[in-house]
Chains A and B, each alone.
Chain A
Amino acid sequence: MTHPIVKLLTQRIALGLLLLLAASALIFAGTQILPGDVAQSILGQSATPEALANLRAELGLNEPALTRYLHWLGAALQGDLGTALTNGQDIATAMGQRLSNTLFLAACAAVIAVPTAILLGLIAVRYEGRWPDKLISGVTLSTVSVPEFLLGYIAMFLLAVKVTAFPSVATIYAGMSLLEKLQAVALPVLVLVLVVLGHMMRMTRAAILNVMQSAYIETAELKGLRPFVIIAKHALPNAIAPVVNVVMLNLAYLVVGVVVVEVVFIYPGMGQYLVDHVAKRDVPVVQACGLVFAAVYIGLNMLADVIAILANPRLRHPK
């Protein structure tokens, strides 16, 4: 007999894949309903009808939309995201470097932000309603409230101009040592951490406070345990599901939503890449970026659900 959790996880993963398929259809349909087509944008407004017709036939644009969608999806599944219209480069190759840069930036921010947010959440619960709680909430709420481009410029002004501790432009390239890379991305990482910290900390605090009402917390208090031990050992394990969900949402933001920060710091990541090609109306690149972003977003949320399922002892150890 298979463990019921296997069935649950299989279902969840299948659902994630289905969702991704739906997202790919939406992305494809979205780029189709834009006015003008690829042939037009390659040849420009002054192209002759004959030239347009030839190019359309060559690119397969006369095929029905469904056929083109299936071709595109089939190729994408094999790692072929097509070629960029503007420079004829293979998108998968061009994007590979960009994506790894974005993931590097996101990973640096996550490694700092996630543990800090959870720890601050625990401290806020420990001193609920007292000054440490108010201070933590106040500071994180205000950094969340400031738009990230402004945070970016403030950080630049203070840490790159006033005190020349870090470079204001986050340029990284192959061949840099890890330390050099870390120094280069310090400012965008700082901004990203400040942006996501508040949300994660507030949710951790709320989820744990919710659990703190439970009778088993009283049991722990009556065992004479220290307050922080009670919060970390007895409350946190029962707040995993909501905390993981909000952590994953923020991780997804770190990958998908970094566009503004990458532009501010001129960082060679996915955001920059997408913005450049949107401006040039390079539809295959926009589609490919959309697909990758959707995959990251859905994948991380799926991971959150999987962790939440695994963290539930009722599902892990059925009767």
Chain B
Amino acid sequence: MADTLLDVRDLKIAATVYPPGEKPRDIEIVHGVSFTLQKGKVLGLIGESGAGKSTIGLSSMAYGRGGVRISGGQVMLNGRDILAGNEAGLRALRGKEVTYVAQSAAAAFNPAKRLMEQVIEATLKHGRASRAEAEARAVKLFRKLGLPEPEKFGERYPHQVSGGQLQRAMTAMALCPEPDLVVFDEPTTALDVTTQIDVLAAIKEAIHDTGVAALYITHDLAVVAQVADHIMVLRNGAMVEYGDTRQIIEAPHEDYTRALVSVRSIDHEEKRPTPAPLLKVENLNARYRGTAFDVLKNVSVELHPGQTLAVVGESGSGKSTLARAITGLLSPSAGRISFAGRTLSAEMEDRSRDDLRELQMIYQMADVAMNPRHTVGKIIGRPLEFYFGLKGAAKRRRVIELLDEIEMGEKFIDRYPAELSGGQKQRVCIARALAAKPKMIICDEVTSALDPLVADGILKLLLDLQRIEGVAYLFITHDLATVRAIADSIAVMYRGQVVRYGSKAEVLAPPFDDYTDLLLSSVPEMKLGWLEHVIAHRKMESAGA
């Protein structure tokens, strides 16, 4: 075909691994993937972590991260095989024909240089325009992408603008040399949901207006459905399914795709409040030491035995600070926390051993919450020893019971954390919290770092354990789909305050306050045209207001 831009044939990618005590060896991580991309079209690459999405995306620039390299196949760009070229040839192509938008723009911009200098750098390097022309082009892109004060925006340093703005600036940087292809590598994943929708709309409009082709990499099918013409589903370095976006979303052929489409569809009937709440937080204020600013302002919530209170909000809304105050890691400046009928001391040192035992915590990053040099058995055994004095065979029996409860089983008892997958690590953390026989567990973004399907498994497990053990959860998350799946009551936090609080049915039913409305309408839905619909709706409302 005449208008084929990128033609990838039987692409194989290998990485060198260094197992301890053994010789380094090569393993294949992408096993013969083929696809084509037409000029001006957008192909979505979707899959879980480890599926090879980014690696395949970067292969369009013949670039391998770390020890990764392309070991076979062809990558034809504009009709020539770029793998046949040398380093100088690749340098001439990178930043000119193909450009890249990274997941974390905050890390991908050089902190020591002004934004304008970085945005036009590739354009100048490849002689695509004079400095004055390039700057004019950049300002035009800043304006198109909805950046504030487009004429002056480039004078700022990366730390002077927000994460959402940086992500737009990175898109401007990628579009400035007028490339044929842009690789978007999870460009909105690190953003808050209310920011994501604006950036997504800006990216989509910029792609449309410039007519550039794009590879759009993400793990979120609902997001890619808004921007892609075609979607390729990847798993473990191989293609599972390829089709146009409508077919993948509405009529997927493969079971794996179907699972991705129907992710987050846990049915959960909310429970009625009981007469006596387990946890009662009253008029809580808190600030960090040495600051004069309240991070929590007059927060009051209740959690009933055996139920789940979801605390939802954007980064910086005070969710995690609330958890720190409840656990005693941060002593509040005003207010009262009562737990199981007792008033909890503000300082953790003053709390009784039972207070500590009955209130456990699970974190977002399971791998840093475990000692890498302890086995799973030792990790789960610690609280058994510490709180109940269990030893030897009795302890081992209980560890195995707990391993069975988290659906992993005895065979994991001697493994080290490094030998577990992300989901398994989080399960071990859950078992460790359960070992203390707590009345309540604080779950701080426990599924945020996990792939959707794995996260679903963790949520199901948490619900099962709640049914069996009667444990209550204070579930902190920014993800509204998770909230829908597990909550009995919900507290929406915004800038340190609870702006909406009640049972799940109440909170998720109209009429909404402005912030909750913004939050709910920003969650990507798994249907075509959702983005246009929401943006048009918002424009109409702001015009009417």
Q: Which residues of A contact B (CB under 8 A)?
A: 214-216, 218-226, 234, 237-238, 240, 311, 313-314, 317, 319
A218 in contact with B113 given A223-B95, A224-B91, A224-B122 (CB within 8 Å): no
Q: Which of B10-18, B99-107, B372-380 contacts A (4 or more CB under 8 A)?
A: B99-107
- State which of B91, B102, B112, B126 has its C-beta within 8 Å of the C-beta of A313: B112
Asked whether B37 is an interface residue with its Cβ less than 8 Å from the other chain, the reply is: no
B63-109 residues with Cβ-Cβ distance < 8 A to A are 63, 65, 90-96, 99-100, 102, 104, 107-109
A226 in contact with B91 given A221-B63, A313-B112 (CB within 8 Å): yes
A216 to B173, CA, bound (A): 13
Query: Which residue of chain A lies nearest to B58 when distances are taken between CB atoms in the complex?
Result: A222
What are 28 A-B contacts defined by CB distance under 8 Å? A214-B107, A216-B107, A218-B65, A218-B102, A219-B109, A219-B110, A220-B121, A222-B63, A222-B99, A223-B94, A223-B99, A223-B121, A223-B122, A223-B125, A224-B92, A224-B94, A225-B122, A234-B110, A237-B110, A237-B113, A238-B110, A238-B111, A238-B112, A311-B112, A313-B111, A313-B159, A317-B156, A317-B159
Residues of chain A within 8 A of B156, CB atoms compared: 317
Residues of chain A within 8 A of B61, CB atoms compared: 222
Query: Which residue of chain B lies nearest to A316 when distances are taken between CB atoms in the complex?
Result: B157
Residues of chain B within 8 A of A223, CB atoms compared: 94-95, 99, 121-122, 125
A224 x B157 contact (CB < 8 A)? no
* Chain B nearest Cβ from A257, distance in angstroms: 32
Residues of chain B within 8 A of A216, CB atoms compared: 107-111
* Chain B nearest Cβ from A278, distance in angstroms: 46
Asked whether B421 is an interface residue with its Cβ less than 8 Å from the other chain, the reply is: no
Residues of chain B within 8 A of A215, CB atoms compared: 102, 104, 107-108
Residues of chain B within 8 A of A314, CB atoms compared: 111, 157, 159
Asked whether B283 is an interface residue with its Cβ less than 8 Å from the other chain, the reply is: no
Residues of chain A within 8 A of B113, CB atoms compared: 234, 237
* Chain A nearest Cβ from B255, distance in angstroms: 36
A249 to B113, CA, bound (A): 27
B108 x A313 contact (CB < 8 A)? no
* Chain A nearest Cβ from B144, distance in angstroms: 21
Q: Could you give, for residues 113-154 of chain B, a 1 whenever the CB lies within 8 Å of some chain A CB and a 0 otherwise?
A: 100001001100110000000000000000000000000000
Asked whether B160 is an interface residue with its Cβ less than 8 Å from the other chain, the reply is: yes
B159-173 residues with Cβ-Cβ distance < 8 A to A are 159-160
Query: Which residue of chain B lies nearest to A222 when distances are taken between CB atoms in the complex?
Result: B100
Query: Which residue of chain B lies nearest to A217 when distances are taken between CB atoms in the complex?
Result: B110
Interface residues on B, range: 20 to 34
A237 in contact with B94 given A214-B107, A223-B125 (CB within 8 Å): no
A240 to B112, CA, bound (A): 10
Residues of chain A within 8 A of B65, CB atoms compared: 218
* Chain B nearest Cβ from A207, distance in angstroms: 13
* Chain B nearest Cβ from A210, distance in angstroms: 14
* Chain B nearest Cβ from A248, distance in angstroms: 20
- State which of A214, A224, A238, A319 has its C-beta within 8 Å of the C-beta of B95: A224
* Chain B nearest Cβ from A220, distance in angstroms: 7
B102 x A219 contact (CB < 8 A)? yes
Most chain B CB atoms below 10 A, which of A224, A313, A314 = A224
* Chain B nearest Cβ from A153, distance in angstroms: 44
- State which of B96, B100, B159 has its C-beta within 8 Å of the C-beta of A219: B100
A224 x B125 contact (CB < 8 A)? yes
* Chain B nearest Cβ from A194, distance in angstroms: 32
A221 to B110, CA, bound (A): 12
A319 x B92 contact (CB < 8 A)? no
A224 x B90 contact (CB < 8 A)? yes
A238 to B112, CA, bound (A): 6
Residues of chain B within 8 A of A219, CB atoms compared: 100, 102, 108-110, 118
A313 to B121, CA, bound (A): 19
Additional 4 contacts, C-beta under 8 A, given A219-B108, A311-B112: A215-B102, A220-B121, A224-B94, A225-B95
A224 x B108 contact (CB < 8 A)? no
Residues of chain B within 8 A of A220, CB atoms compared: 110, 121
* Chain A nearest Cβ from B439, distance in angstroms: 43
A221 x B94 contact (CB < 8 A)? yes
Residues of chain B within 8 A of A313, CB atoms compared: 111-112, 157, 159
* Chain B nearest Cβ from A73, distance in angstroms: 36
Query: Which residue of chain B lies nearest to A311 when distances are taken between CB atoms in the complex?
Result: B112
- State which of B93, B112, B125, B160 has its C-beta within 8 Å of the C-beta of A225: B125
* Chain A nearest Cβ from B168, distance in angstroms: 15
A222 x B107 contact (CB < 8 A)? no
B159 x A224 contact (CB < 8 A)? no
Residues of chain A within 8 A of B157, CB atoms compared: 313-314, 317
- State which of A214, A221, A224, A317 has its C-beta within 8 Å of the C-beta of B160: A317
- State which of B108, B112, B121 has its C-beta within 8 Å of the C-beta of A218: B108
A317 to B112, CA, bound (A): 11
A218 to B111, CA, bound (A): 14
Residues of chain A within 8 A of B121, CB atoms compared: 220, 223, 225
Query: Which residue of chain A lies nearest to B87 when distances are taken between CB atoms in the complex?
Result: A227
* Chain A nearest Cβ from B75, distance in angstroms: 15
Query: Which residue of chain A lies nearest to B113 when distances are taken between CB atoms in the complex?
Result: A237
A262 to B422, CA, bound (A): 63
Most chain B CB atoms below 10 A, which of A221, A240, A313 = A313
Query: Which residue of chain A lies nearest to B103 when distances are taken between CB atoms in the complex?
Result: A215
A238 to B118, CA, bound (A): 15
* Chain A nearest Cβ from B149, distance in angstroms: 15
Residues of chain A within 8 A of B96, CB atoms compared: 224
A222 x B95 contact (CB < 8 A)? yes
Query: Which residue of chain A lies nearest to B122 when distances are taken between CB atoms in the complex?
Result: A223
A317 to B92, CA, bound (A): 34
Residues of chain A within 8 A of B122, CB atoms compared: 223-225
A319 to B161, CA, bound (A): 8
- State which of A222, A224, A237, A319 has its C-beta within 8 Å of the C-beta of B112: A237
